[in-house]
Each structure stands twice: as C-alpha cells, then as structure tokens.
Chain A
Amino acid sequence: MSVVGHAPPPFFKRGPAPLVRLAFFVTLSLVLLVADLRFHTLEWARLAVATAAWPLQRLTGMPIDAAGDFGAYLSRQTSLLRENEELRRRQLGTANLLLRQEHLEQENKRMRALLDMRTRQPVEGRIAEILYAARDPFSRRVVIDKGSQHGIAAGQAVVDDIGVIGQVTRVFPLTSEVLLLTDKDQAIPVAVQRNGLRAVLAGAGSGTMELRFLAANAEVQVGDILVTSGLDGVYLPGLPVARVARIDRDSSHSFARITCVPLAGVERHGLALVLGSRTELPPRPDEAPAMLDQPSRGKRVKQKIR
C-alpha cells in the first residue's frame, strides 16, 4: 500500500515475475533458432564470437593434445620400424605409377585435345590437420586448423589419402568447420565406378550413407565403389567416396534402399587435404531453348565423359 509521496521500500523489488521473464527469454531463443535455421542470418555473430574465443579454444585443447602426444611418445620402436618398412614398401609399389604419371598426363592432354574435350582441372590442395570433432552431437562436423587466412573458402572439398571426407561449411580466420559425408544434411553426387550409373549419396547418420532415388531394379551390387561424378561443380570427378554395403530391394517401394559405408576415414582423425575450388562450370542452358532443340547424340556423349 503506497501513501502519497512515499514510494514502497525497495526491498521487495524483484523485477518482472519469473513467468514473464521465462516467456521473454524463451521467445527470444525461439526467434534466434528460427533466424539461424531458416534464414542463416547469424553467421556474422558466430564469426565474431568464435574469433574472439579462438585462443581460449586452443588452450582448452592442449591437455587433449598433450595426452595424444604422450601416447605417441610411448609408441614402441618396433612398431615405428614396422610402419617405416610398410611405408617404404608402399612407396616402391606406387613409384611405378608415379614415374609414369607425368607421361600419362601429357598423353591424356594430347588425347583430349584430339577429342576436342575440356581439359581436366589440375588438382591443387592444402594440407590441414583435423583438430577435433565439434561437440554438437546432432551433426557430424570436424574442425581443421586452416582458415580464411590460409585461403580456405566455404564449399571446398576435403579428402584424405583414400577418398572424400566432406566439405568446408564454415570458415573462421584460423580454423574452419568441415561437414562430414555421414551428416544427415550432406549430399554428394556420385557415379557407380563399374558402370557409370549416376545417383545422389546422402548421409544417413550413425556413420553410414544412403544412395537415394535409385529404382528398385537399378544395377547396383554389394561391393560397388562409388566415385564423385563431378556434376555439382564442387567435387572433382573420380574421387572415391563409398562402398555399397547392403541393398534392400523391396518391391512395395519404388526405390531401392541402398546403404553405403564411406571409404575414407571419415570418423578418424589425422591429416586431410583441402582441395582448391573448382573452376566454374559452364552456365546451365535455359529451360525453354533446351526443350526446343534437343542436343544431338554426340553432344550428350561428351557431357557424360566430362
């Protein structure tokens, strides 16, 4: 009860009621969620905060790194010797191919010139180390130690010594985030190496991938190797991606359910190669003229080979 000229004592001033405050903050969080999920408008804020927190993040990673280094320090000399031997043997095995590669590339270029086809883009890359897996348990992401200061740009493909790992999705000044192939949001256009059948490979969670939208009688066998088809303009064609692990041909569905496992060490950590951006593909032809003059047979064959 307030008397005229006297405010109530400030002891019991506690601001708005808890339920009001809860409603305010929940609404604010939901607005942020929608803004980030639907419109991707908060990347600048993320960039600023992540850059400021980078030294702290490296600092907290140090104990884990130190533990890893200590484990490596304790590795036995015999195992190192064995690994050295193995690497030397592999190098000799590939020397044959490497020595002839220059020759083959020259020959390939001449052949392509004869066939009047676009020359293949030379592969260039930048070696990066996978620092750690992002803590977010709902997606599959890793953080690598190269960022925009090293010339990394969003959209570049990341491979290891066996095949494709994923794609750079966010770039910070000194680090960047790689979305792994097994993430549910990641899709990659592939071709079956054996017969050139094109399809889209999408992450299915829990370390596997799924070959989508292939008819139930599509010619795919267990054990087939899938390579990138290069149709998206992001991945270079011919990089190994996955192996077909299981095929469920259920006649009640129009599509076959094809489960694949990644070839590269997607869930392992180590060194990775960030491939340079591809040169732009030629612009897509407009829909209407394409309908009017159907390309001749020769043109279609060319497109397929490229």
Chain B
Amino acid sequence: MQPTHASRRILLPVRNWFIVLTLFLALVLNLVPFGRFPGIPDWVALVLAFWCVHQPLKVGMAAGFVLGLAMDVADASVMGQHALAYVLLAFAAAGWSRRVLWFPLSQQALHVLPMFLGMQLVMLVTRMVSGGEFPGVLWFLSSFTATLLWHPVTYVLLMPQFRPEDKDVHRPI
C-alpha cells in the first residue's frame, strides 16, 4: 500500500498541471506572514523535494531556480539566495531519487532531512558572508518540521495518482 518502489501498488501517471498547482500553492503558503516564529516549514522546499524525488524527469533544477527567485522577492531577501539553495536541493533530491524511493516513508524522511539542513546551511553561509545577522539555532527547526511532514505530504500529493482498488478475482492484475 505504500507509494514506494517496493510496494505492489501501481500509480496512475502524474498530471503536469497538478505539479504546477501544488508548487504554486506551496509558494502561497510560504507567503503567509508568520514573521520570525520558529518551526514554520519551508513549504516550497518540501514540495520541490517531493517532486524531484518522485518525478526527477519533470521537476528539476530549473523549477528550483524559478521558485527560488520568487521566494527571494517574496521574502525581501537577497536575490539569488533561495535560488542557489533550491537548485542544490533539487540536484540532491533528483540524484538520490532512485535510492530514496526504495525505502519506507519514515526512512525516506531521514534521507530528506540532510537535504533540508544542507539547504538551510547554504542560505546561512550566503547571508553570513554578506554581513547578515545569525538568526539563532531555532531557525533550523523548520527543517525538522518539514521532515515530519514528509509522510502526510506524500499521501496528499500522490492522492490523484492512486487508482481505485477494484478486486476482480478473474483478472488478478
């Protein structure tokens, strides 16, 4: 029943508009002004990593770059900061996709955690070099929140691809 390579379940092909829609919704969620409240996950990074793992041929570094630029404008941060981090995230996620998908969901999340942490580290280094202020250790909490969300997000984003299970004893497949 699990949406991994190891599961017996066959998924429907993904629809392109659904990928675009989910990435856009993640961008909208990121625009919600929570201020400096710690532990709010980076929704764009989460959804981007998900699609890079599941559809590495459709979503990749170009999508990461464009989304990163959008986030840079929305966040009022330096142009290129999110773009650089998301491009590296997309590269890592797409490169690991064939390995990650063989694991059950909890272990998939453990694979994704270092990607998120690395992404935040890249942003931190970029901004500290340019004279920014250290945002505090609690800022890294958002990576862990995103990791915890990997399980539910997988089910939500794969939902349109599940086909109804009609058991036919005469034709088992």
Q: Which residue on chain A has the smallest CB distance to residue B77?
A: A136
A-chain residues with CB within 8 Å of residue B128 when the two chains form the complex:
138
Instruction: Indicate if B73 sits at the interface (CB-CB under 8 A).
Output: yes
Q: Bound complex: CA of A206 vs CA of B136, how far in Å?
A: 9
Please tell me which one of the listed residues B29, B75, B95, B139 contacts residue A18 in the complex, with CB atoms under 8 A apart. Answer: B95
Q: How many residues of B contact A (CB 8 A)?
A: 45
Please tell me which one of the listed residues B78, B87, B126, B127 contacts residue A25 in the complex, with CB atoms under 8 A apart. Answer: B87
Q: Which residue on chain A has the smallest CB distance to residue B83?
A: A29
Binds B, one of A33-41, A112-120, A255-263, A285-293: A33-41
Instruction: Indicate if A9 sits at the interface (CB-CB under 8 A).
Output: no
Are B74 and A135 closer than 8 Å at their CB atoms? Answer: yes
Instruction: Indicate if A243 sits at the interface (CB-CB under 8 A).
Output: no
Instruction: Indicate if B81 sits at the interface (CB-CB under 8 A).
Output: yes
Tell me the smallest distance from the CB of A163 to a CB of chain B, in Å: 21
Instruction: Indicate if A61 sits at the interface (CB-CB under 8 A).
Output: yes
Instruction: Indicate if B35 sits at the interface (CB-CB under 8 A).
Output: yes
Are B84 and A26 closer than 8 Å at their CB atoms? Answer: yes
Q: Bound complex: CA of A183 vs CA of B128, how far in Å?
A: 13
A-chain residues with CB within 8 Å of residue B34 when the two chains form the complex:
64, 135
A26-B84, A64-B33 are known contacts. Are A21 and B77 too (CB-CB below 8 A)?
A: no
Instruction: Indicate if A46 sits at the interface (CB-CB under 8 A).
Output: yes
Instruction: Indicate if A4 sits at the interface (CB-CB under 8 A).
Output: no
Binds B, one of A49-57, A95-103, A211-219, A226-234: A49-57
Instruction: Indicate if A210 sits at the interface (CB-CB under 8 A).
Output: no
A-chain residues with CB within 8 Å of residue B79 when the two chains form the complex:
32-33, 35-36, 42, 45-46
CB-contacts of B16-62 with A (<8 A): 28-36, 57, 60-62
Produce 1/0 per residue, A123-167, CB < 8 A to B: 000000001111111111101000000000000000000000000
Tell me the smallest distance from the CB of A141 to a CB of chain B, in Å: 6
Q: Bound complex: CA of A60 vs CA of B64, how far in Å?
A: 22
Are A18 and B87 closer than 8 Å at their CB atoms? Answer: no
Are A63 and B32 closer than 8 Å at their CB atoms? Answer: yes
B-chain residues with CB within 8 Å of residue A36 when the two chains form the complex:
78-80
Q: Bound complex: CA of A36 vs CA of B75, how far in Å?
A: 14
A-chain residues with CB within 8 Å of residue B68 when the two chains form the complex:
29
Q: Which residue on chain A has the smallest CB distance to residue B29?
A: A60
B-chain residues with CB within 8 Å of residue A131 when the two chains form the complex:
33
Please tell me which one of the listed residues A37, A139, A143 contacts residue B133 in the complex, with CB atoms under 8 A apart. Answer: A139
Q: Bound complex: CA of A35 vs CA of B79, how far in Å?
A: 8
Q: Which residue on chain A has the smallest CB distance to residue B131?
A: A184
Instruction: Indicate if B70 sits at the interface (CB-CB under 8 A).
Output: yes
Please tell me which one of the listed residues A25, A31, A33, A170 contacts residue B62 in the complex, with CB atoms under 8 A apart. Answer: A25
Q: Which residue on chain A has the smallest CB distance to residue B130?
A: A37
Are A22 and B80 closer than 8 Å at their CB atoms? Answer: no
Tell me the smallest distance from the CB of A280 to a CB of chain B, in Å: 29
Q: Which residue on chain A has the smallest CB distance to residue B38?
A: A137
Please tell me which one of the listed residues B33, B78, B88, B131 contacts residue A61 in the complex, with CB atoms under 8 A apart. Answer: B33
Instruction: Indicate if A30 sits at the interface (CB-CB under 8 A).
Output: yes
Instruction: Indicate if A14 sits at the interface (CB-CB under 8 A).
Output: yes
**Which 7 pairs across A and B sit closest by C-beta, in order of nearness?**
A132-B33, A32-B80, A138-B132, A137-B135, A29-B84, A33-B80, A36-B79
- A interface list, Cβ under 8 A from B: 14, 18, 21-22, 25-26, 28-33, 35-37, 42, 45-46, 49-50, 53, 56-57, 59-61, 63-64, 131-141, 143, 170, 177, 183-185, 205-206
Additional A-B contacts beyond A132-B33, A133-B35 (8; CB < 8 A): A22-B88, A29-B83, A32-B80, A49-B70, A49-B73, A59-B28, A135-B33, A139-B132
- B interface list, Cβ under 8 A from A: 28-36, 57, 60-62, 64-65, 68-70, 73-81, 83-84, 87-88, 91, 94-95, 126-128, 130-136, 139
> Can you name 18 A-B pairs with beta carbons within 8 Å?
A18-B60, A22-B87, A25-B83, A29-B84, A31-B80, A33-B78, A35-B79, A45-B73, A45-B79, A46-B79, A57-B74, A60-B32, A131-B33, A136-B75, A137-B139, A139-B132, A184-B131, A184-B133
